[in-house]
Structure 1
């Protein structure tokens, strides 16, 4: 089923139209929309249109951090920024920082000033114009929640068309604790996070290494408090095969997941650390199955030893 061909269907409002319903201190945004982009010329407009389509009662800012694109992405973002100077901040890095092991999330605390952080990368986009308003309302009504999440369409980019593959599972709960969260997946394009929590997590867990990705971010955030759920499809995750995760083969994905889970089991405590040890056990079991299929005696023995250690640590920690 073809979902979209080129442009987001949401209407593009003028800067005055976007700001006409804002109340309060217009110089301070309630939400900072943080968009990381690199060589996404064909898709960044769709992301920008989704941001600019938001109808809110509060001020928001759009921060686009371009990691030294070379394909014309920067020119597209610059055009939007010139048309929406009071809303859009365009940051273009002179040199590519990701190649030096610097992930975009470590930059947001220095760039964003909102009470909440809304994440969306430049090749994904939002589908509804009330996404931000509804998610902020949920967080304002739930003091114990650190983040609001929602549902996402997974779509594969094929030529100039997006093919709808699946939708994330909708929980039966309005609020998720760590145990309930285990049965569900939420994409980062739906995240609206309390900025104080997000900034402290970045400072305490993400600096100095690039091992932690989106899965780790989710695991750390749930250790800080509950997630509140907007049970609506609000975004599209565009699968291109060029992303950090989707470009990896199965072995590299398992290795990354394993190393991240091992570090998280040390960085977290209680049930959160225990769940990471359970994940290590699951990955080790998958690696043993792969070794058995390969008929490589050395790999089978090694995988068996590591699995035994994972079982011991999982059951007796």
Structure 2
């Protein structure tokens, strides 16, 4: 793979995944595809044995991947582990695989690349997933993924995502000038929702209705976003405000309509949950240009 320019860049951000990282990497190695790809792994100074496991895996499979062993944990850096990995991606397309997730279909990337290669008008393609626990056992949990073939802003408004991060393959916006990246670079979390909003604002997203990956959902004791981050009203308000600013910046009227509604929903919830005051609400609501429309949407979507 390393002697050809890759069609696909796969980046694997890992931290404290000693029990899972081999399964993730093996799910990449099992892929059956005619397309050349590169695998970039960022080991973010884990406190467990992830680094040792990776070094051993490198010896067993030389040339399969390029591992970046970080000198310090980059979680709080402006250029963090994920951002650095993405900036190194040279492929025509990009996909992520977090170190505790894995793919379950050996033709997954073949199907996704083939779709994008034959559909120039699409910016991304996703698929369905199963949810597993720490023992890789499938649970009854359903990921809030899209069950239509086309992912649209109305799905996003309702909390439906195109798929879990390891299911979404997209055109490399870092090597192609295909969209405004300001929202992607604003440095707030969660980054996957920022990516999905940016993609659907700038192009068409297709959803393959097949389960081709496993999302490991650990709500405590893990290193995932859901395991470590609790709701913070001020941060969430800032998140939705940045989203609204982006929609206005690119002048996407449908996105503006939805971003205003979601921002209003968040600031009203802040008052209801006593995280904010009426006075603060009256200040925040000034940032919404179409107040009556947003209020109407809030009422009909209750």
TM category, shorter? 0.7 to 0.9
Pairwise CA distance, 1:105: 3.4
Q: What is the DSSP-based 3-state SS (H/G/I as helix, E as strand, rest coil) of the residue aligned with 2:139?
A: strand
Query: Which of the numbers 213, 233, 237 marks the counterpart of 1:258?
Result: 237
Pairwise CA distance, 1:177: 3.3
TM-score after normalising by structure 2: 0.82
Query: Which of the numbers 281, 289, 293 marks the counterpart of 2:272?
Result: 289
Aligned alpha-carbon RMSD (Å):
2.9
Query: Which of the numbers 191, 196, 220 marks the counterpart of 2:168?
Result: 191
The separation in 2 between residues aligned to 1:226 and 1:198, in whole angstroms, is: 19
Match of 1:274 in 2: 257
Query: Which of the numbers 216, 219, 229 marks the counterpart of 1:248?
Result: 229
Pairwise CA distance, 1:314: 4.1
The one-character-per-residue Cα deviations of 1:1-41 (angstroms, maximum 9, x if unpaired) are xxxxxxxxxxxxxxxxxx7xxxxx95211111111011111
The one-character-per-residue Cα deviations of 1:254-282 (angstroms, maximum 9, x if unpaired) are 44332111012112232223311111111
The one-character-per-residue Cα deviations of 1:44-67 (angstroms, maximum 9, x if unpaired) are 111111111111011112111111
The one-character-per-residue Cα deviations of 1:164-201 (angstroms, maximum 9, x if unpaired) are 13233664542333335544222111111111368766
The separation in 2 between residues aligned to 1:255 and 1:154, in whole angstroms, is: 30
Asked whether 1:164 is paired with 2:139, we answer yes
Query: Given that residues 206 and 212 in structure 1 are in contact (C-alpha distance below 8 angstroms), is that contact kept between their aligned partners in structure 2?
Result: no
Match of 1:233 in 2: 211
Query: Given that residues 129 and 214 in structure 2 are in contact (C-alpha distance below 8 angstroms), is that contact kept between their aligned partners in structure 1?
Result: yes
Pairwise CA distance, 1:208: 6.1
The separation in 2 between residues aligned to 1:106 and 1:72, in whole angstroms, is: 23
Asked whether 1:174 is paired with 2:149, we answer yes
Matched pairs, number: 284
Query: Given that residues 123 and 170 in structure 2 are in contact (C-alpha distance below 8 angstroms), is that contact kept between their aligned partners in structure 1?
Result: yes
Sort the Cα spacing of 1:208 and 1:173 in 2 relative to 1 into closer, same or farther, 3 A. closer
Asked whether 1:32 is paired with 2:5, we answer no
For structure 1, which segment, 196-205 or 178-187, has the greater mean C-alpha deviation from structure 2 after superposition? 196-205
For structure 1, which segment, 63-72 or 80-89, has the greater mean C-alpha deviation from structure 2 after superposition? 80-89
Q: What is the DSSP-based 3-state SS (H/G/I as helix, E as strand, rest coil) of the residue aligned with 1:227?
A: strand
The separation in 1 between residues aligned to 2:291 and 2:72, in whole angstroms, is: 43
Pairwise CA distance, 1:310: 6.9
Match of 1:46 in 2: 23
Query: Given that residues 50 and 127 in structure 1 are in contact (C-alpha distance below 8 angstroms), is that contact kept between their aligned partners in structure 2?
Result: yes
- Equivalences for 1:1-317 in 2 at 5 Å? 26-157=3-134, 160=135, 162-168=137-143, 171=146, 173-183=148-158, 184-185=160-161, 186-196=163-173, 204-207=182-185, 209-211=187-189, 213-241=191-219, 242=222, 243-250=224-231, 252=232, 254-268=233-247, 269=251, 270-291=253-274, 299=276, 301-302=278-279, 305=282, 309=286, 313-315=290-292
For structure 1, which segment, 100-109 or 147-156, has the greater mean C-alpha deviation from structure 2 after superposition? 100-109
Unaligned runs of 5+ in 2: 295-302
Query: Given that residues 184 and 194 in structure 2 are in contact (C-alpha distance below 8 angstroms), is that contact kept between their aligned partners in structure 1?
Result: no
